[in-house]
Structure 1
Amino acid sequence: MICKQVPLKKGKAIKMRFPFSKPLRRSSDEGHKPALSAASSRNRVVIAMGCFIAVYGVIGGRLIQYGMTDLEQGRSYGSINRNMAARPDLVDRNGAIMASDIRVASLYGEPRRIIDPDEAVEALTSVLPNVDYKEWHRKLSSGAGFVWLRREITPKQQAQVLALGIPGIGFRNETRRFYPGGPNASHILGLVDIDNAGISGIEKFIDNQGIGALQALGLDASEELAPVRLSIDAGVQHILRDELMTAMDKYQAIAAGAIILNAKTGEVVAMASVPDYDPNNPFNANDKDRLNRMAAGTYEMGSTFKAFTTAMALDSGKVNLNSRFDASKPIKIARFTINDFHGKKRVLTVPEVFIYSSNIGTAKMADVVGIEGHRAFLKKLGLLDMLKTELPETARPLEPKEWKKLNSITISFGHGVTTTPLQTAMAAAALVNGGKLIKPTFLPRTKEEADAMGEQVISAKTSAEMRYLFRLNVEQGSGRNAEVDGFYMGGKTGTAEKVINGKYSSNVRFNAFLAAFPIDDPEYVVLTIVDEPKPVEGQYSATAGLNAAPMVQSIIRRSASLLGIQPKFHNDREALQVSY
């Protein structure tokens, strides 16, 4: 610093400090730059003022915009959590609401504003149940700016807490998902978590379509989202689940399930699996016995697979309805013996093999086609690959790593391959709808859209022959108990022995019944399953004809009118004439 003495009039001097590291130069010194002009200084001031005016103008404009926006719309401008983001309603095919958002209050605390944490927690305990005193005291003593205390409380509880008047305790409105039907379609609709994000079922499917990304960013729509329409009929869905609950109790089964599939479009009209859960209170949703057995469980489908084996043989051209197979003696291969449950001990025609559910005759039909042809046919029907639908919960079928003759024989009558009931229903629809395989969907689909995407897997002639066999089995075979007067239906039973401790058990069964109606021009396929049923009073057996078939009868009788199928009580329908 340079200090310079300046003389004063009275002879005194003071020190003047200049913030320069070097002495000041005169204007005539070398390298001196002239000072900025007055005009240039004024320009800079004007520019600075303009910038300030522009910035504050924008801020003021936004404040006016927020002030003129209603509360609900204003949420979209704020920094909000994903639990405030709206979800679209889920509605059935007729517009009935199956899932919707409701507003609920959640309790929070601001520890920095809490005067006495002990007093605050004690007061809250007096009006709220199940308060964790130590945990809440820890939160309210943390000094944090914000802590959640309890999410989604009732209006009554909110009023009681407000009456306490505790500083630093407040409420925040959140969005909660509500399912008016309770457990009616829980496995289809799925669940959301505490932050209203889809974690299963159609709810998760919606998030995967983009809603989840908006929620994750904390964005909310200022207008209500358009409802997502499903292919489900809520009324039919209720009937289906009600019949399953009744059957599970009647047959003392560990589980039951059913599906109604539109044979011409692939739309799932109803699907249920019990035990299930209430999505409004899903405390037991993850229990293993509450699995969605129709789409996320794989099973040996038993004699229902004989329908696919028969269709394969007929469609190959090597077998026709008049072909005969010797079922008088068991088939012995390796260390195994293949026999019939109720053997006729004689030569059987193809229709007799079907209605008597002959393992021997069915195995010999598969042998005519061959091992490679057998596997290729089941793969063409979609029974060996994982099925992709809107539901994320889908199981992968299991098959032998290497198909040998023994595998082909046992698979021909439903043992040795596991697949989902939903896939079984899909493949069955192809057998009766004219031969088109149409992937199932839980969203609306038109007949034209289905025809465009459908794949011809069997000929129309084979499909007509299978419709005849299905009807014949209800009239004369194991499907008699599924008959519904006026609705002209057909079907096939399936009784599969379950594997217990590595061995097939003759007393523990997984039963199914596969049906279609009206069988002359099928609109719907119905598949029921019942896991480990017990004989009812007065019966000594629990085969599919005694439980899974009556389940189909009850479902069709109650739901046919809702599905638009009217009964016809006349005898002018004639089945395909076949001599054997």
Structure 2
Amino acid sequence: QARQRAEGRLLVLGLFFVCAFGAIIARMGMTAVSEPAEPVASVPGAAIAAQRADIVDRNGSLLATNFETHSLYAQPPQMIDPVGAAEKLVEIFPDLDRERLIKDFTGKRKFLWVKKKISPEQLQAVHDIGDPGLMFGPREMRLYPNGSLAAHVLGGAGFGKEGVNAAEVIGVAGVERQFDDYLRDPANAGKPLQLSLDLTVQAAAEQVLYGGMKLMNAKGATSILMDAHTGEVISVVSFPDFDPNDRPRPPTSGFDPSDSPLFNRAVQGVYELGSTFKIFTAAQAMDLGLVNADTVIDTRGPLRWGRFAIRDFRNYGNEMSVTKIIVKSSNIGTARLAQQ
């Protein structure tokens, strides 16, 4: 009976080893015949670290790209001198709350983010602290090499899904948000998103408009430049603006939205354009062949339309050419053109 029990146990043990080695051999066989890309795609965090495509202007000039940086996080149980580390971190990052940092480092927390993105100089300074509980994780952040140029068009990007070894960059406003799916799609193979903007024209428009805004002591200013033949937008400017590399927070409730630099006056503002639209009336009348620049129009007033009376700012006479109607901004003359 003892012999039979021993033989039975050996049989069970033998079957166990046969199954174990069989599973290993099967796995090795599957790995050998599989595509080389499959193990890479299955690495944890690969989806988070997906590259985001660049944004360029109509001439290929770079408007937005990715920049490799690092994040800073802490594991308090592994820290040697949490109070000292907190004080040195505040020296490197003055915006950190010293008391809150000490409380977090000396409390029960096992993990906390200190900074989501840091510069190479800051990384070296933290590294010099020498505390093993301060750790770094690789990051890709969005970089706008031209600073505030075309800021309202580009919008900005931030971090979405995050891990210690990677972070997902997502669009939060503007073109970055509108075309977020395209910019994050691996199928595009990193092909940049090309806009109709012209970087050179955009810079010139911003310079001229900013000068005019300061000259008039205006609260803000905006301009839109389009190609009249294609309708392409060549330049969009809104002041005050911001740097998308350091995008400000949206204003809290109770404030006028237009007080925020995030407010895009070109598309969010509401304006009474008034006499600037008289040129469209004159242009359409000329385009239809009804008048030319020298055609004389009856400008006697007031002109009655329903219960309204249309008058001019001054009495410009009983007749004016189409050119003079635009020069003098005649309401009556423009209304006569509209009637034609």
**Which secondary structure does the structure 1 equivalent of 2:73 belong to?**
strand
**Offset of residue 115 of structure 1:** 4.4
The C-alpha deviation readout for 1:70-114, integer Å capped at 9, x for no partner, is: xxxx798332684x4422111222222111111112110113323
C-alpha contact (below 8 Å) 1:276/1:285 kept by paired residues: no
Alignment of 1:265-304 (within 5 A): 265-283=230-248, 288-289=258-259, 290=261, 291-304=263-276
| Gap change, CA 1:57 and 1:146, over 3 Å in 2 | farther
The C-alpha deviation readout for 1:3-61, integer Å capped at 9, x for no partner, is: xxxxxxxxxxxxxxxxxxxxxxxxxxxxxxxxx9xx99988974554224324666899
Alignment of 1:14-163 (within 5 A): 46=18, 49-55=21-27, 77-79=43-45, 82=48, 84-163=49-128
**Which secondary structure does the structure 1 equivalent of 2:248 belong to?**
coil
Alignment of 1:331-370 (within 5 A): 331=303, 337-366=309-338, 368=339
**Which secondary structure does the structure 1 equivalent of 2:149 belong to?**
helix
| Gap change, CA 1:129 and 1:323, over 3 Å in 2 | closer
C-alpha contact (below 8 Å) 1:255/1:273 kept by paired residues: yes
**Offset of residue 157 of structure 1:** 1.9
- Gaps in structure 1 of 5+ consecutive residues: 1-35, 215-220, 370-580
Cα distance in 2 between the residues matched to 1:306 and 1:132: 58
**Offset of residue 126 of structure 1:** 4.2
Q: CA RMSD in A?
A: 3.9
Residue in structure 2 matching 1:202, options 175, 195, 199: 175
The C-alpha deviation readout for 1:204-233, integer Å capped at 9, x for no partner, is: 12214362xx6xxxxxx6996122222222
Question: Which range moved further: 245-254 or 129-138?
Answer: 129-138
| Gap change, CA 1:155 and 1:296, over 3 Å in 2 | same
Alignment of 1:192-271 (within 5 A): 192-195=157-160, 196-209=169-182, 211=184, 225-271=190-236
**Offset of residue 239 of structure 1:** 0.9
The C-alpha deviation readout for 1:473-496, integer Å capped at 9, x for no partner, is: xxxxxxxxxxxxxxxxxxxxxxxx
Identity of aligned residues (%): 34
- Gaps in structure 2 of 5+ consecutive residues: 1-7, 161-168, 252-256
**Offset of residue 305 of structure 1:** 1.7
Cα distance in 2 between the residues matched to 1:223 and 1:270: 26
Cα distance in 2 between the residues matched to 1:75 and 1:242: 47
**Which secondary structure does the structure 2 equivalent of 1:225 belong to?**
coil
**Offset of residue 337 of structure 1:** 4.4
C-alpha contact (below 8 Å) 2:225/2:236 kept by paired residues: yes
Q: Does 1:327 align with 2:309?
A: no
Structure 2 counterpart of 1:227, which letter?
A: P
Structure 2 counterpart of 1:207, which letter?
A: D
The C-alpha deviation readout for 1:525-564, integer Å capped at 9, x for no partner, is: xxxxxxxxxxxxxxxxxxxxxxxxxxxxxxxxxxxxxxxx
Match of 1:408 in 2: none
C-alpha contact (below 8 Å) 1:179/1:280 kept by paired residues: yes
| Gap change, CA 1:150 and 1:44, over 3 Å in 2 | closer
**Offset of residue 246 of structure 1:** 1.1
C-alpha contact (below 8 Å) 2:153/2:236 kept by paired residues: yes
TM-score in terms of structure 2 length: 0.76
**Which secondary structure does the structure 2 equivalent of 1:257 belong to?**
strand
Structure 2 counterpart of 1:308, which letter?
A: F
| Gap change, CA 1:160 and 1:312, over 3 Å in 2 | closer
Structure 1 counterpart of 2:207, which letter?
A: D
C-alpha contact (below 8 Å) 1:343/1:358 kept by paired residues: no
Match of 2:138 in 1: 173
C-alpha contact (below 8 Å) 2:183/2:193 kept by paired residues: no
Larger radius of gyration: 1
Match of 2:163 in 1: none
C-alpha contact (below 8 Å) 2:54/2:183 kept by paired residues: no
| Gap change, CA 1:223 and 1:158, over 3 Å in 2 | farther
Cα distance in 2 between the residues matched to 1:60 and 1:133: 54
Cα distance in 2 between the residues matched to 1:88 and 1:144: 37
C-alpha contact (below 8 Å) 1:340/1:359 kept by paired residues: yes
**Which secondary structure does the structure 2 equivalent of 1:130 belong to?**
coil
Count the aligned residue pairs.
314
Structure 1 counterpart of 2:119, which letter?
A: T
